[in-house]
Amino acid sequence: FQPSETQAVEEQIKETVQLYFATVDRVRQRSSEPSVSLESVASSSQLIAQQELLENQREAGLRQVGGTEIVELRLESVSLGDPAIALVDVCWDVRAVDVVDGELRSVVTPERKNVGWTRYTVTNEKWESTTDDGWRVSGGADLEKEPCTGP
């Protein structure tokens, strides 16, 4: 890889994670947004988890208000095999996010963690055939580390 190619791949991965957060926020905010929208940014266990969460939220008559802020995004590793896999650590802040019922009453518990780190696995099953599409967030695990400070 030339340095510019590596930088381009790293940018694609970071953009995928940012688009993932924006898409998850959008489908949880708008009941008219189809859950299939998640397939453009997520796959595997992460897609299933997000679809189940969304389905449960909608069945309960709940929706999200506000958006998640990505405070820090760190690309930890990239392996361009088959499939291509990257690990990305994200410090997120949901202080501006509320989940409300039909009467606009908050259902968020006081125990909710508002700022934290999650390590996301981002995979590209199509890496061998196309390099400019195919990155999806496929997994995630919360990290036990000091929260970032946020804004």
pLDDT at 54: 96
Average pLDDT score over the chain = 91
Q: Which residue has the tokens 């967030």?
A: 137
Phi-psi region of 3 (alpha: psi -120 to 50; beta: other; left: phi over 0): alpha
Give the tens place of pLDDT for each residue, 119-148.
Answer: 999 999 887 666 567 899 999 999 988 878
**Arithmetic mean of pLDDT, 44-52:** 96
Give the tens place of pLDDT for each residue, 54-78.
Answer: 999 999 999 999 999 999 999 999 9
- Given a cut of 70, is residue 81 above it in pLDDT? yes
Distance CA 92, CA 75 (A): 14
